[in-house]
Chain A
Amino acid sequence: MSRVKRPARSRRSPARSVLLHGTLLVASVIAIGPIVWVLLSSLKPGYAIQSSELTLFRDTTLANYAYVLTETNFPRWFLNSVIVAAFTMGIGIFLSATTGYAVSRFNFPGRRPLMMVFLVTQMFPVAILIVPIYTIMARLGLINTMPALIIAYLTIAVPFCAWMLKGYFDSIPTSLDEAAALDGCGPFATFWRVVLPLARPAVAVTAFYTFLTAWGEVAYASAFIQTDDKFTLAYGLQQFVPQFNPQWEYLTAAAVLVTVPAGLVFFFAQKHLVSGLTAGGTKG
């Protein structure tokens, strides 16, 4: 980004510079404020969280983390979530990439309806149509298994990702495909060895999006999973906030632990976020 050298148009006056940085600073504080506040709270013991006094640090302790990691099923839920998210991400990238490529490069009958279908799937009130989906899962014998979740998350993530990748593939010149074909690549080899590597930014965004979808989903997880050892984090965490005796101290600690992996994925994807989403957006 910073390599792009813009002609030094209108040098900013100091006042405007202050205004610009001030606004961005305030916005950044608002953006990370809640995250930081939860992080700080997670280091306080329960009574300090529940006091109405405003303090940043008070009796700092890691006891909440120790409790969450050793006294609850948290590690197990964490592992479940990692498995579900990893599979959703892997399969999701593959499916959206092949679909996006087909829609971008081949003018086959059914292409336009498929793109419309992708949009319509976004309109589904998931929470409400969950029952028919539950019935299907039950008939397939998938209730209380991770494949049920993986399949369900794919239906949420793949349409958007395929559409986004299609936009990105559109921006890659077809002359590259033709050159690859001349060199003896089959259609799949062209896609896999030539086009996909060029679409790395969009693939990074897809990875980020599919991971987050699987990592943070609540409705399906609470419907399809029934036993404690199969819970994912999103659902397991709700056990810390029962209606009448919410255990905020454990919840905040768990929330921090949950956010860390998502943050890691974000860290690797963030460089590509802007350029990866771009093409999808402009060509939408």
Chain B
Amino acid sequence: MTTVTAEPAPPSTPSGRSARPSRLRRSWDKHWYAWAMVLPVVIVLAVLIFYPLFRGIWLSFTNLNEANQVAEICTKSITGSEVCAENPNRWEFVGLDNYVRVLTGEVGEFWQWTGTTLIWTFVCVAFHFGLGLGLATMLNRPMRFRSLYRVLLVLPWAVPAFVSAFAWKFIFNERFGLANALLSAVGIDPVSWFADRWTALLTAIVTNIWLGVPFMMVALLGGMQTIPSELYEAAEIDGASAWQRFKNITLPGLRPVSMTVILLGTIWTFNMFPIIFLVTEGQPAGQSEILVTGAYRAAFEGIRNYSLASTYGVLILSILLVFSVFYRRALRKQGEVW
């Protein structure tokens, strides 16, 4: 995320070798203003993101759940006084047990969910980007009704995700949904969408594509408008075809935007909770779960298993971290400063 293209602030050059306290002092004098400006965000993130993260990592090595979380069990005796005894089944450190249980499939379907998540993420991001790029290219030329098209195409972004989820669930309803009505109108038998793993996943993917294209389109359209039009004029004078202009000017010009939105899109889609949770609800029989929703159900249905939830959280975060490290490295190899 950090670019070094524009470094507006003057470079900090501590003159000479000053003693440690005074350098600290100087650093404080110089930077206190910037620190003050970011402080509120840092505090909130530290309290609500990093403390839970570290606590989550710790919990993933314990067996904490709803049933064994109390340290003492208190019972009221007949006389009214309370007698407390130590809870014999109190939660404790269990090492890697949770990870072993999750990865061997003893609880949940880690590998199946991961597979589904990968398909889900790949298909969604590919369509988001492809459709977004196509629509942005079309909207980037002068024509009539351009602003109207743009407003209409961006509109799905303004619909809250849970409303879209309900809307599409309604459309894919087996008995009275629009999808089946349209299918039978052209003579195809109605499909019971949520009875099969792949059709169920299809409904969720369609919903998510519909939801996510506007963001990509807007970001790419913005990127296209920063490409200097002289480049296109020069190419035209040299006799480049529309396809050549697209391939040799538009695509390279969009690289920085594309790389960022693809990374963000992948992370967001990977962790997209409401769509699967509300549209397919994991039907049939949990086969259309992705990692986040599957983990949520495994950990929170029945007795809430906090340690199991944390284990999944840590695994998901690790997958995404590994992905972004490789992604960055791949970009760097191609000379991208990012």
Which residues of A are interface residues toward B (Cβ below 8 A)? 1-2, 6-7, 9-10, 12, 17, 20-21, 23-24, 27-28, 30-32, 34-35, 37-38, 41, 49-54, 95-96, 98-99, 101-112, 114-129, 131-133, 135-136, 151-152, 154-155, 158-160, 162-163, 170, 174, 177, 187, 208, 212, 215-216, 218-219, 234, 237, 241, 248, 251-252, 255, 258-259, 262-263, 265-266, 270, 273-279, 281-284
Contacts and interface: CB of A to CB of B under 8 A. Distances in A.
Interface stretch (B75-83, B91-99, B141-149): B141-149
A34 B180 contact: no
A148 to B, nearest CB: 10
B170 A1 contact: no
Name which of A107, A110, A208, A279 has the most chain B CB atoms within 10 A of its CB.
Answer: A107
B16 to A, nearest CB: 19
Interface string B223-246: 101100100110010000010000
A123 B147 contact: no
Given A102-B38, A120-B321, A128-B296, A31 B48 contact: no
A50 B45 CA distance: 46
18 contacts: A10-B236, A21-B145, A23-B138, A27-B149, A52-B175, A99-B41, A123-B271, A128-B299, A132-B51, A132-B310, A158-B41, A187-B33, A216-B161, A216-B162, A258-B163, A262-B158, A265-B158, A277-B222
Contacts of A38: 163, 167, 170
Interface residues of B, number: 116
Contact of A281 (B37, B168, B181, B260): B260
Contact of A50 (B11, B48, B51, B175): B175
> A-B pairs with the 9 shortest C-beta distances?
A216-B160, A278-B222, A284-B260, A266-B158, A132-B52, A106-B34, A107-B9, A102-B37, A108-B34
A275 B226 CA distance: 9
Given A6-B142, A98-B38, A109-B27, 5 more contacts: A105-B9, A112-B2, A118-B1, A124-B271, A151-B48
A129 B178 contact: no
B309 interface: yes
B1 A216 contact: no
